[in-house]
Amino acid sequence: MNENRIQTFTEEIGELKLRGARADRERWLLAIGTVALIAGVAMAIVGGFQASGTTEMGDQIAFLATGTLIGLALVIAGTALFVRYSLARFMRFWLVRLVHEHRSETDRVVDALKNIESKLDGR
């Protein structure tokens, strides 16, 4: 019975003709977010070391502006991309799991009602 429900569910989804999420784009944006996060942290660390390695105030400001501030911007953007697409993946999994659990619970309720009906008809 469960296989029939799964096949029916798959056919119903196919009939909706919805544009699904593009897994390739999401995977790439998740990877870009991860790379931006790592690169931003690396740039911030390198910018801090470069700024502390010189005694001239102009060079320190330049190193902090290019390394640390751009690195911080990359960290923020990378974190936003990573969190957004990680949550999207988790929510999609959770929704499919929820639908599956509800359908299997419905099957159990229907079977229980049929069992009760057959016992009442047997009297």
Instruction: For residue range 56-75, list pLDDT tens digits in order.
Output: 888 888 888 888 888 899 99
Q: Which residues contact 75 (CB under 8 A, 6 or more apart)?
A: 36, 37, 40, 41, 44
State the pLDDT at residue 33: 93
Looking at residue 116, its pLDDT comes to: 92
Residue 92 has pLDDT above 60, yes or no: yes
The whole-number pLDDT of residue 16 equals 72
Structure confidence by residue, pLDDT tens digits, 6-49:
788 777 777 776 665 566 788 888 899 999 999 999 998 888 88
* Global model pTM greater than 0.95: no
Q: Where are the domains of the chain?
A: 23-121
Own/partner pairs, 20-28, CB within 8 angstroms, 24+ separation: 21/88, 21/92, 26/85, 26/88, 26/89
- For residue 1, is pLDDT > 70? no
| 103-118: average pLDDT | 91
Percent of the residues in the chain that have a pLDDT greater than 70, as a whole number: 92
